[in-house]
Chain A
């Protein structure tokens, strides 16, 4: 539904013309709160987990304490999606590869130095033909990780830009740093959607790529949609 259609429906409900001062106020309010409203319970749970300054354990069914648990659940997700026949097979493989890269990144860059809770939040939801995959960690975040190898980085937004565009890794001198480039290029090529947040910045990728400020989270959060 386009913003104009939403606006029209809202104005019909309120019995107001779309361009009255009241409706402009409602529109501003809607836009203002859009940043923090998540689409479903799973998204709310994940964002609450990374936003909360008091660390708490996430429900076991969403929690992958170690990489092995994540791998097992990723394997199970692929099997589940293949059995459901709702999503094109090739899309299942590409989306799983993207989730695999993002989830493993959390372990690669936080192993042995998690600030509070180790491991990641990983879950997915399939409704009709819409798949949402969510990954989150309460790790150090992209800025802290990359600043060690690129001290000139100034903030979370710059760090996200570099992470998704340059061949760079917080684990230099190991020759790494191609995972998020793979993620970006394949989200774009297959016309999927990724929202990736870290610290006080978020990057949205579909056919375009847009980086902006957002409310602070601890670590990283990724929401992938087909």
Chain B
């Protein structure tokens, strides 16, 4: 299962928007996947990401699923993932 974040926009900054994205992902993208199926989160095309948006999506997905991250070169993506691992206990085994 692959989730392309650019389909939610290229400037992903607020918690309410992140929460809405997470609910949509739950309802339409990962509803029927197996518990142990890996979810690939693709950051290609994302220009601006903040910990507020990502905490509602990435942290929550990582709590219940095995996730893999792709195309994390954007500086705000790197900085956000760094913040989440320090302050939100995000653990990713890529």
Contacts and interface: CB of A to CB of B under 8 A. Distances in A.
A176 B55 contact: yes
A186 interface: yes
Query: Interface size class for chain B?
Result: 20 to 34
A182 B83 contact: yes
B23 interface: no
A47 interface: no
Contact of A178 (B49, B55, B75, B76): B55
Contacts, number: 79
A96 B12 CA distance: 10
Given A74-B13, A104-B15, A178-B55, A97 B83 contact: no
Contacts of B88: 175, 178
Main secondary structure of the interface of B (DSSP, over half): helix
A93 B74 contact: yes
B50 A100 contact: yes
A178 B83 contact: yes
Given A178-B87, A181-B87, A100 B13 contact: yes
A125 interface: no
B11 A96 contact: yes
Contacts of A74: 11, 13
A78 interface: yes
A101 B50 contact: yes
